[in-house]
Amino acid sequence: MALRQRYRFRAPSTGREVIIEAQPGHVYHDRDSGEELEVVAKLTPLAPSPSNLPWSIENLRHCPWCQQMAQIDLNDCPTCGRRMEPQTA
């Protein structure tokens, strides 16, 4: 299964950043302001994991978007790349 290339986008007025599996030729807009998002960076896969936590049940939660497991110290889901809500213990 090939992963789509992920890009970090920023809304110019608010500075809010989102990660999108962008497709060539598409223009993406901020969902609140509607302004056009600018590309900040192209994300490269990190090996083996961006988290420092061991892959154990105490350190995992489910991504609310794709339901895959992710370490709780991550802000962005390693599977789908979407921002997860802050963990409230």
CA pair distance 53, 40, nearest whole angstrom: 27
Instruction: Tell the smallest beta-carbon distance from residue 34 to Zn ion (Å).
Output: 25
Q: Binding to Zn ion by residue 65, rule CB under 5 A?
A: yes
55, 62, 66, 73: which one binds Zn ion (CB under 5 A) = 66
CA pair distance 33, 31, nearest whole angstrom: 6
| Residue type (1 letter), 5 | Q
Instruction: Tell the smallest beta-carbon distance from residue 25 to Zn ion (Å).
Output: 25
The footprint of Zn ion (CB under 5 A) covers: 63, 65-66, 77, 79-80
